[in-house]
Amino acid sequence: MAEAVEIVEVGPRDGLQNQARIIPTDRKVALVDALSEAGFQRIEVASFVSPRWVPQMADGAEVLVGIGRRPGTRYMALAPNLKGYEAARADGADEVAVVTAASEGFARANLNATVAETLDRIATILDMAHRDEMPVRGYVSVVTDCPYDGEVAPASVARVSAALRDLGCHEVSLGETLGRGTPERVDAMLRAVLEELPPERLAGHFHDTSGRALENVEVALGHGLRVFDSSVGGLGGCPFAPGAAGNVATEALAERLATLGYETALDREALARATALARSLREG
């Protein structure tokens, strides 16, 4: 039997957040529903950030309330602070994601705080989430390169990942946010992080600016990671990482994993329909 790999679909949140044209709520709901039909175990559907910072995500509550709920799929939302967490929980999120960064420059630009301050915010969220029995996933941004600080030391990524583990995140997603990381540097980063967390507690989150995301996925597979984030149709980018392209495309990732002999349990025909819908939402 083929070994299983989970693809976490982040297109409705991480994919759409950088689109300049505001996508109507009903189209976002339609995209999530199409992705649900493909059989994902987890779909990140909304972000409860300030609409002043990310206007595209202002309708997160409406999206969470409006989607159909497929049995077997968990619907996630990003919550940058306690207010965002409370809104995500109230609107029906099954899992919450929190975010910090491996560099001070990116933390200040993206989260308006130092890395230590972001971890303090996350600790407050985790305290509440534990009482609510809400699973929390942690994101570490810029795990190889920062647009403000340059190359990121693997030890910094390991230190922040360990902090998220200690706070209670059940999984840490390692975000290669700029899409500039080479397989060699991804390998060095993972070696450092794996001294702190086992591979089953980690996910890979690779952007494809340099066209090497799938190579980096293969490096992570070699280190034992079996969870990867991707964005249908290659949607994405980051408002605070100028020039970064979208996440690795879900359809390309699923195809590469199948070629390598892994099982994703996704319905390929349903995924193709969701991909066509996602591409129709691209600006321009």
pLDDT of 243 higher than 80: no
Residue 185 has a CB neighbour count (10 Å cut-off) of: 19
In the chain, the domains with their CATH numbers are 6-280 (3.20.20.70)
| pLDDT mean over 180-199 | 98
Per-residue confidence (pLDDT) for residue 18, from 0 to 100: 80
pLDDT in tens, 56-107: 999 999 999 999 999 999 999 999 999 999 999 999 999 999 999 999 999 9
Residue tagged active-site, from 238, 244, 245, 257: 238
Known active-site residue 169 = no
Do the Cβ atoms of 56 and 282 come closer than 8 Å? no
**Rounded distance between C-alpha atoms, residue 146 and residue 46, angstroms:** 25
Residue, of 14 and 284, whose pLDDT is higher: 14
State the pTM of this model.
Answer: 0.95
pLDDT in tens, 28-52: 999 999 999 999 999 999 999 888 8
pLDDT of 209 higher than 50: yes
Per-residue confidence (pLDDT) for residue 126, from 0 to 100: 98
**Rounded distance between C-alpha atoms, residue 68 and residue 39, angstroms:** 13
Closest CA to 205 of 246, 241, 168, 242: 246
